[in-house]
Structures are given as structure tokens and as C-alpha cells.
Amino acid sequence: MNDNQEAEPMDRTEIESKLTDLLVDELGIERDDITQEAKFEEDLDVDSLGVVELLMALEDNFGVKIPDEEAEQITTVGEAVDLVEAKLNG
Amino acid sequence: MSRVALVTGGSRGIGRAIALRLASDGHVVAVNYAANSAAADDVVEEIVAAGGTAIAVQADVGDTDAVSAMFETVEDRLGKVEVLVNNAGITRDDLLMRMGPEAWDEVIETNLRSVYLCSRAAMRGMLRSRWGRIISVSSISGISGNPGQANYAASKAGIIGFSKSIAREIGSRNITVNVVAPGFIETDMTEGLGTEIADEVASRAALGRLGRPEEIAAAVGYLASDDAAYVTGQTLVVDGGLAL
């Protein structure tokens, strides 16, 4: 685990591909099902605790801190990428 | 298998016995204490002398920031907490009509808020590991009630409802959440009640005696072990048959 990784700027494609790997490896989602529009709970069958786990994995792997208020807004893969992108490059 | 265990209120009484037991079962133990650092150091020394690994860590477990700092320290020094034992507890006994809000708040904060704070802090690591044990020490007072202990009994009953809810929330991630409810155990906490009450309670227990801290620790050791992998949301009453 890269628990202590420092946040570094990253382009969107790179974030997308890393996030896709996380979804496959950590949450066991089929790679082919992952699109930017896919909703975690409805389309990818991730339960509410799974979304919490995903956000923890994002924090650990991208070295960002995601406050609970912002975490609650995330429903799709694309939104998760947006959030990480904003945190890393904003 | 060796795990990192954190025992709140681990310097004295039942907590001390639990820390020693988990260490002798092969776990690495963080011994939390509120004020008595000498007692906590004694527990650590005893564990180390027996060939185990342990550290003492101070924190008021009812305090949000103190709990965060405690987990940071334990994770830095020992690794992620995989076995959490919520044991810290105090009493401020009085008849309800004489029980002021401070006596209520203090007991709820130390006995119940601590369970919320510590469980939440431990859960992150447990979710990532897909393995965890949360074991909380309740009391027979929380099940049967006890005059003079409205605050204490409420906090101890609260632990049971909390644990059942969390057991359902995180069971799918291979984390079990259980409760041990001791009866009347010989500790500093019960010593103050006097021999007359102790004798009377002993006579009401089916086994005709008070319990020892080691007998509670044995139940916690079981719930932390791989043998208890399929046990969750349960309250194991260890009271010598006091409340049947």
C-alpha cells in the first residue's frame, strides 16, 4: 500500500486508469463494466460501505484527503475522477 | 496468528487481564490508560518479561482528538489495529434522584462514546485488511439493570445495541463485533462496595462465588481467536450464573 504517498499532479487519463485498477483490484468490479458514467451503487453493484471503502482507497493511493461532505457527493466513476483531479491538480 | 490488539483501560482490573491474555495468545498489545501510567507500564513489563510485545499509550478515550492521536501512535509503532477491545469504563453510582448531569455525562462519555470513537477509528484499517475483531466489555448491569447504576447500565446496554448494529454493517467484510458482559468480578471497581454486598452477590450466583478478571479475559481471548470466526453480534454473559 502507498499509504504515505505524497500528492503529485497527474493527468486525467492517468487518474482514470489508476482508479479503474483500484475498482477492479479492491472492489472486484469487472473491467468492462467501468465507464465514466457508471453509477457505483446502481450500475456497478457497489454497496454503500463499498463506496466508503473506495474513497479510503482513493485517499491512500492518490495521497489526497477527501472530507465526508465531498465524499457524499460521489455517485459515478467520472465524479470520483473529477474529485481526485481537483484535489491533485487544484 | 499474531495480531495487533488495542485494549482500552488496559492498565488495571479486567482490562489488565485482557491485555495479558491477548499477549499470551501471541498478539502484540497496546495498553491504553487514562491516568495511571505506572500501572500501564507494569502490564507492559509483565508482557515483555514473558517474551511478548506491548506498548503503553495514554488517552482519554471519550475525547475525539485523544482517540485519533492514540490510533496514530499505535499504528506508527505497532501497525494497524486488528483486534480492538473496548474495555475502559467508570462508575459514578447514585440513585437517579441524586444523580447530577455530570455523573451521567462522564459515564456515558467514558463508557459509550469511547466505544463509538475507537470502533470508528479502528474500522478503517480493518476494512482495508478485510479482517477485524471488535470486542466490547459491557456488564450484567446493562442487561438486568441495577439500582444506583442508571448511568452505568445505560452505557453498558448502549454498547450491546451499538455492537449489534455494527456487526450487521461490516459483517460482509469479515469483521466480527461482539460483547462480553461480566457479572460481579473482583477488581478495584467492585472492591469499594464492601464484603457484605460481595458475599450477598456471590450467594446469588449459581457458581456461588465472584468472578476473576482472568475469566473475563478468557472470553475475550476466545472472541479474538480464529475459533470465533463465525460468531458476531453476540453478547457472551460471563457471570457465574448470576442472571439466569
Domains and CATH numbers, chain A: 12-89 (1.10.1200.10)
Cell reading at B97? 434522584
- Give the pLDDT confidence of B120-172 residue by residue, as tens digits: 999 999 998 999 999 999 999 999 999 999 999 999 999 999 999 999 999 99
Could you list the beta-strand ranges (E) of chain B: 4-7, 28-33, 54-58, 83-86, 132-137, 175-182, 235-238
Residue A45: which residues within 8 A CB-CB, separation 6 or more? Answer: A29
For residue B170, list chain A residues with Cβ-Cβ distance below 8 A.
49
Interfacial residues of A (vs B; Cβ cutoff 8 Å): 1, 47, 49, 52-53, 56-57, 60
Say whether residue B170 is in contact with chain A using an 8 A CB cutoff.
yes
> In the block, which residue shows the cell 478515550?
B61
Long-range contact set of residues A69-74: C-beta below 8 Å, sequence gap at least 24: A74/A40
Q: Which residues contact A7 (CB under 8 A, 6 or more apart)?
A: A62, A63, A64, A87, A88
Q: Which is the catalytic residue, given A47, A60, A68, A82?
A: A47
Segment B92-100 shows an average pLDDT of 97
Sheet of strand B175-182: strand arrangement: B54-58, B28-33, B4-7, B83-86, B132-137, B175-182, B235-238
pLDDT for B174 beyond 90: yes
| pLDDT for the residue numbered A4 | 47
Query: Does A47 participate in catalysis according to the annotation?
Result: yes
Please tell me the distance in Å from B244's CA to the nearest CA on chain A: 38
The cell for A18 is: 489508476
Q: Is the pLDDT confidence value at A89 over 90? A: no
Give CA B55 to chain center in angstroms: 17
Whether residue A71 has pLDDT greater than 90: no
pLDDT of residue A1: 44
Question: Which residues, in sequence order, are CB contacts of B218 under 8 Å at separation 6+?
Answer: B21
The reply to whether residue B128 touches residue A52, judged by beta carbons under 8 angstroms, is no
Q: Which of B75, B76, B127 is the best substitution to test chain A (most A C-beta atoms within 10 A)?
A: B127
Top residue of B128, B129, B170, B174 to mutate, by most chain A CBs within 10 Å, is B128
CATH class of segment(s) B4-238: alpha beta
Residues B170, A53: C-beta atoms closer than 8 Å: no
| Mean pLDDT, range A16-31, rounded to an integer | 90
